Structure 1
Amino acid sequence: MEALIADPDHPVVLFALEWCEFCWSVRKLLAAAGVPFRSIDLDGAAYREGDLGGAVRKALAARTGAATIPQVFVGGRHVGGATETFEAFNDGSLGRMLAALGHEVRGAEVGNAYRFLPAWLHPRTPKAA
């Protein structure tokens, strides 16, 4: 787990599922913001053999206390799932974390991160400051 989340060549790590709409939403946000990231697709071919994806998911839940996917890490630090990642983007803390690692975020151009959520969800607004 440590090797996956603390790789200096990939400071943003997204633990995801290929079919998950919330994972797609986080991917779209990161791409729109110009944030390079590594996606570890736990249901992908590389993680199917021997249920490696299931083992990583259990280790991830034990580490974070969250059984949900996606889960995002920046510089080895757990940000959270989709909602927490959108909140961190909207309140600027994600940008500050990335800036500390030498990565710039196109925040103003992206706007409200919640716009990347699936259209079938009830609309969400950022938390009041």
Structure 2
Amino acid sequence: MSTPGIRFDVSSAPAAVAPTAPAKPEAIAYVERIVSEKSVVVFALEWCEFCWSVRKMFAEAGIEYESVDLDSTAYQKDNLGADIRAALRDTTGSLTIPQIFVGGQHIGGATETFDAFNDGSLKQRLDANGVIFNQAMKENAYSFLPKWLHPR
């Protein structure tokens, strides 16, 4: 017996399409407020390995951050997590999670954050915003990605 959806002789169902409804003003205001109040904000999903990778790198570098876990129980009421995700999509132009902000400025997702760490621009932005971290950390940020990924 084969696993449905993993067969070569049968067409799979079309992929789900991301919602296109405009973000709610309250959700946009929430995103704007939290990124202006906190030095480093990570909009994440609790189960996401790319979010875990950013968290591991931040932990290794001693970077304190506010985590907004969109799939957590705290954001399930009234579909708040999905509303915030739509606000992120509308404000950043990106559908992916995580999305990272430093000093109110959007850095990007996991790979953009790793690139910024590796090229030193993230460290400069952290310094400029008074974020204390281990400046001696020299590891390649991509080393924090899941090991099942192909090398970059």
TM-score (norm 2): 0.78
In structure 2, the residue matched to 1:28 is 56
In structure 2, the residue matched to 1:82 is 110
1:89 and 1:107 in contact (8 A); partners too: no
| Structure 2 gaps, min length 5 | 1-30
Give, as a single letter, the amino acid of the residue that structure 2 aligns with 1:68: T
Whole-angstrom distance in 2 between the partners of 1:116 and 1:67:
22
In structure 2, the residue matched to 1:6 is 36
Give, as a single letter, the amino acid of the residue that structure 2 aligns with 1:52: L
Within a 5 Å distance, the mapping from 1:58-77 to structure 2 comes to 58-77=86-105
Please give the secondary structure, in 2, of the residue aligned with 1:78: strand
| Structure 1 gaps, min length 5 | 125-129
Equivalences, count = 122
Which one has the largest radius of gyration?
2
The answer to whether residue 103 in structure 2 is matched with residue 45 in structure 1 is no
Please give the secondary structure, in 1, of the residue aligned with 2:86: helix
1:55 aligned residue (83, 87, 94): 83
Report how far residue 24 of structure 1 moved: 0.2
Whole-angstrom distance in 2 between the partners of 1:105 and 1:78:
19
Deviations 1:27-84 (A, max 9, x none): 0011111110010000001100111000000000000000000000001100000000
Give, as a single letter, the amino acid of the residue that structure 1 aligns with 2:126: L
Deviation larger for 89-98 or 107-116: 107-116
Please give the secondary structure, in 1, of the residue aligned with 2:107: strand
Give, as a single letter, the amino acid of the residue that structure 2 aligns with 1:54: A
Report how far residue 4 of structure 1 moved: 1.3
The answer to whether residue 122 in structure 2 is matched with residue 94 in structure 1 is yes
Please give the secondary structure, in 2, of the residue aligned with 1:58: helix
Percent identity (aligned) = 58
Please give the secondary structure, in 1, of the residue aligned with 2:62: coil
Deviation larger for 23-32 or 101-110: 101-110
Report how far residue 101 of structure 1 moved: 1.2
